[in-house]
């Protein structure tokens, strides 16, 4: 049987195959709102009071003072006035303070985010609430339902244990939910009162680093499915997400939980882990979507600390100013654990909103040791 030969000019005239249209994004970020306690302090005004809490009388304070200078933090907000921390006494009192202040801040964050999104509490179908700095049953989300006027059939997911990565991981899981419930509206709330975990009379380097680096705050994100009414806004769309655990690194970050509460674990080797392990999974994630690091125009990075941010910049070959939004957040509010990356995301709204079509990557790292990537487009 003869196979017909197509002349070259006929082949050239054939129409190019049609590419499938780009899928409609499953999730749009309608609003982000950060709430902080009213007790605001300059970093230099906290150094000696925190030394009084953490160190024995007469102990050398050279390391304490050096850490407070080197963190890049200028101001922080605390859940309580600094003079009240010495009287907390035990984990029970600290946790009671977390419930009271955390509920107030959570309510403020969610109310602000809904207002900015032009929505009412009754519009919320799912509330995801994360914290790693306290525990409560009923959980914070349950306590907020009646206070905020959320529907009694609102779906709730309280989350504990993700630490600093939870702002990114929470947004990723909200995206997963909205893919299956495209007509819904979801709220992600993170509440972190890190100061209430500070250990008294603990002169370990990890506790001193925590006392120099962390601040208190809450943040809420309103996210809408592709079929939800009134979803227009200037926030980005979530395109895809990726989670990654690094084997053999579980001991590097977390809590040691005992009679005095949450004793922080922060290993000095974390920046080296970032340098050794962050690049390949992040580049592979971008490549799966036809992108490279150079295609990302907005980096929304959790401000884990100056050394971690330097490691991120170096391993990805980023311009020196790529993480400026994270550095500004760290300077103004300290590291607020899971709430910080959402505060950085908030800074990309309004006057600092990227041009339409800009690709963004929201990322954070936390206990596990793990990272979470959220690919976005404005």
Q: Which residues are the active-site residues? A: 164
d(CA 268, CA 253) in angstroms, rounded, equals 10
**CB neighbourhood size of 317 (10 A):** 10
Angle at 25 between CA 328 and CA 163, to 5 degrees: 40
How many CA atoms does the CB half-sphere of 248 hold within 13 Å? 4
d(CA 37, CA 56) in angstroms, rounded, equals 28
Specify whether the CB–CB gap between 131 and 165 falls below 8 A: no
d(CA 125, CA 180) in angstroms, rounded, equals 13
d(CA 307, CA 252) in angstroms, rounded, equals 15
Q: What is the DSSP string of 256-308?
A: EEETTEEEEEE-TTHHHHHHHHSHHHHHHHHHTTT--GGGEEEEEE----HHH
Burial of 299-315, coded b for 16+ CB within 10 Å and e otherwise, reads bbbbbbbbbbbebbbeb
Phi-psi region of 202 (alpha: psi -120 to 50; beta: other; left: phi over 0): beta
Specify whether the CB–CB gap between 149 and 252 falls below 8 A: no
- C-beta pairs of 318-323 under 8 Å, 24+ apart in sequence: 318/293, 323/299
């Amino acid at each position: 049987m003869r196979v017909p030969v197509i002349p070259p000019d006929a082949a050239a005239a054939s129409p190019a195959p049609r590419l499938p249209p780009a899928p409609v994004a499953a999730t749009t970020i309608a609003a982000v709102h950060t709430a902080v306690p009213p007790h605001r302090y300059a970093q230099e005004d906290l150094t000696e009071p925190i030394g009084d809490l953490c160190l024995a009388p007469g102990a050398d304070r050279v390391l304490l003072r050096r850490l407070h200078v080197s963190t890049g933090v200028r101001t922080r907000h605390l859940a309580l006035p600094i003079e009240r921390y010495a009287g907390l006494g035990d984990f029970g009192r600290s946790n009671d303070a977390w419930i009271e202040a955390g509920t107030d801040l959570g309510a403020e964050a969610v109310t602000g985010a809904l207002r900015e999104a032009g929505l009412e509490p009754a519009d919320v179908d799912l509330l995801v609430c994360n914290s790693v700095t306290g525990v409560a049953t009923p959980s914070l989300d349950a306590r907020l339902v009646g206070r905020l006027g959320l529907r009694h059939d609102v779906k709730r997911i309280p989350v504990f244990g993700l630490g600093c990565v939870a702002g990114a991981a929470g947004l990723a899981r909200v995206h997963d939910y909205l893919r299956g419930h495209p007509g819904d509206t979801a709220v992600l709330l993170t509440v972190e009162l890190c100061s209430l975990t500070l250990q008294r009379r603990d002169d370990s380097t990890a506790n001193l680093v925590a006392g120099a680096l962390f601040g208190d705050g809450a943040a809420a994100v309103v996210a809408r499915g592709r079929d939800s009414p009134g979803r227009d806004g200037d926030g980005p769309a979530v395109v895809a997400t990726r989670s990654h655990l690094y084997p053999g690194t579980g001991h590097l970050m977390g809590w040691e939980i005992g009679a005095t509460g949450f004793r922080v674990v922060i290993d000095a080797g974390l920046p080296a882990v970032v340098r050794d392990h962050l690049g390949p999974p992040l580049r592979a994630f971008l490549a799966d979507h036809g992108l490279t690091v150079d295609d990302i125009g907005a980096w929304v990075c959790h401000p884990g600390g100056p050394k971690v941010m330097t490691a991120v910049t170096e391993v990805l070959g980023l311009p020196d100013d790529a993480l400026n939004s994270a550095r500004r957040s760290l300077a103004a509010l300290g590291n607020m654990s899971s709430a910080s990356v959402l505060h950085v995301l908030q800074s990309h709204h309004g006057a600092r909103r990227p041009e339409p079509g800009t690709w963004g990557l929201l990322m954070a790292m936390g206990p596990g040791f793990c990272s979470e990537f959220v690919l976005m487009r404005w």
